Amino acid sequence: MAKITYIDPQGARHEIDLRPGMTVMEGARDNDVPGIVAECGGACACSTCHVYVAEGWADRLPPMDPMEEDMLDFAPGVEPGRSRLSCQLTVSEALDGLVVEVPQEQA
Amino acid sequence: MSGVIVIGAGQAASALAAKLRAGGYEAPVTLIGEERDPPYQRPPLSKAYLLGEMPRDRLYLRPESFYAEAGITLRLGAPVTRIDPQARRVHLGEEALPFDHLVLATGARPRRLPAAIGGDLAGVFTLRGIADIEALAPLMRPGARLLVVGGGYIGLEAAAVARKLGLEVTLVEQSARILQRVAARETSDWFRALHQSHGVEIREGVGLARLTGETRVEGAELSDGTRLRIDLVIAGIGVSPESGLADAAGIACGNGIAVDAQGRTSAPGIWAAGDCAAFPWRGRQLRLESVQNAIEQAECVAANIMGAGRAYDPHPWFWSDQYDVKLQIAGLGQGHDHVVTRPGKRAGSVSHWYFAGPRLLAVDAMNDPRAYMAGKRMLEQGRSPEATEIADPTQDLAALMRAPARQTEES
**Which band of pLDDT confidence, cut at 50, 70 and 90, is reported for residue A76?**
confident
Closest chain A residue to B65, measured at CA: A30
Residues of chain A with Cβ-Cβ distance to B24 below 8 Å are none
Comparing CA positions, the residue from B289, B291, B293, B266 lying closest to residue B109 is B289
Q: Let me know the angle formed at the C-alpha of B59 by B56 and B60, rounded to the nearest 5 degrees.
A: 105
- List the domain range (segments joined by +) for residue B176: 112-235
Which residues of B fall below an 8 Å CB-CB distance to A? 18, 22, 41, 43-44, 47, 58, 61-63, 66, 70, 291-292, 295, 317, 319, 321, 326, 328, 346, 367-370, 373-374, 377, 380, 397-398, 401, 404, 407, 409, 411
Task: Report the alpha-carbon distance of residue A90 to residue B326 in Å, rounded.
Answer: 20
**In this structure, is residue B310 part of a structural domain?**
no
pLDDT confidence of residue A71: 93
Taking only Cα atoms into account, the Rg of chain A, rounded to an integer number of angstroms, comes to 12
DSSP string, B168-191: EEEEEESSSSTTTTTS-HHHHHHH
Domain check: are B212 and B252 in the same one? no
The CATH number of whichever domain residue A82 belongs to comes to 3.10.20.30
pLDDT confidence of residue A50: 96
* Distances B211 to B203, B232, B257, B285, B322 between C-alpha atoms, Å: 16, 10, 33, 36, 27
**In this structure, is residue B278 part of a structural domain?**
yes
- B401 vs A34: CB contact, 8 Å cut-off? no
Contact (Cβ atoms closer than 8 angstroms) between residue B163 and residue B249? no
The two beta strands, B338-343 and B89-92, are unpaired
Contact (Cβ atoms closer than 8 angstroms) between residue B125 and residue B232? yes
**Cα end-to-end span (Å), chain B:** 41
Residues 6+ apart with CB under 8 A from A104: A9, A35, A77, B407, B409
**In this structure, is residue B228 part of a structural domain?**
yes
What is the least distance, in Å, from the CA of B207 to any CA of chain A?
33
Domain check: are B44 and B100 in the same one? yes
| b/e burial code for range B258-275 (CB count within 10 A of at least 16 → b) | bbeebbbbbbeebbbbbb
pLDDT tens per residue across span A28-68: 999 989 999 999 999 999 999 999 999 999 999 999 999 99
Helix axes A66-74, B369-380, angle to 10 degrees: 20
**In this structure, is residue B408 part of a structural domain?**
no
- List the domain range (segments joined by +) for residue A95: 2-101
Instruction: State which of B305, B332, B351 marks the end of a domain.
Output: B305
Comparing CA positions, the residue from A94, A96, A100, A78 lying closest to residue A25 is A100
pLDDT confidence of residue B400: 84
Comparing CA positions, the residue from B319, B325, B318 lying closest to residue B195 is B325
For chain A, the domain total comes to 1
Contact (Cβ atoms closer than 8 angstroms) between residue B122 and residue B135? no
**In this structure, is residue B312 part of a structural domain?**
no
**In this structure, is residue B158 part of a structural domain?**
yes
State the average pLDDT over residues A93-99.
96
pLDDT confidence of residue B404: 44
For chain B, the domain total comes to 3
Q: How many CA atoms within 13 Å lie on the side-chain side of A99?
A: 8
**In this structure, is residue A106 part of a structural domain?**
no
Domain check: are B90 and B122 in the same one? no
- A34 vs B22: CB contact, 8 Å cut-off? yes
Q: Closest to B373 (Cβ–Cβ): which among A29, A39, A75?
A: A75
**In this structure, is residue A67 part of a structural domain?**
yes
Domain check: are B286 and B391 in the same one? no
Domain check: are B259 and B350 in the same one? no
**In this structure, is residue A107 part of a structural domain?**
no
pLDDT confidence of residue A106: 83
pLDDT confidence of residue B408: 31
The CATH number of whichever domain residue B347 belongs to comes to 3.30.390.30
**Which band of pLDDT confidence, cut at 50, 70 and 90, is reported for residue A105?**
confident
The CATH number of whichever domain residue B255 belongs to comes to 3.50.50.60
Q: How many CA atoms within 13 Å lie on the side-chain side of B235?
A: 25
Taking only Cα atoms into account, the Rg of chain B, rounded to an integer number of angstroms, comes to 23
| ipTM (interface pTM) | 0.94
**Which band of pLDDT confidence, cut at 50, 70 and 90, is reported for residue A75?**
confident
Domain check: are B333 and B345 in the same one? yes
Distance of CA B182 to the CA centre of its chain: 12
Comparing CA positions, the residue from B154, B143, B78 lying closest to residue B111 is B154
**In this structure, is residue B313 part of a structural domain?**
no
pLDDT confidence of residue B402: 60
**In this structure, is residue B315 part of a structural domain?**
no
Residues of chain B below pLDDT 70:
402-411
Instruction: State which of B179, B209, B235 marks the end of a domain.
Output: B235
**In this structure, is residue A54 part of a structural domain?**
yes
Domain check: are B88 and B120 in the same one? no
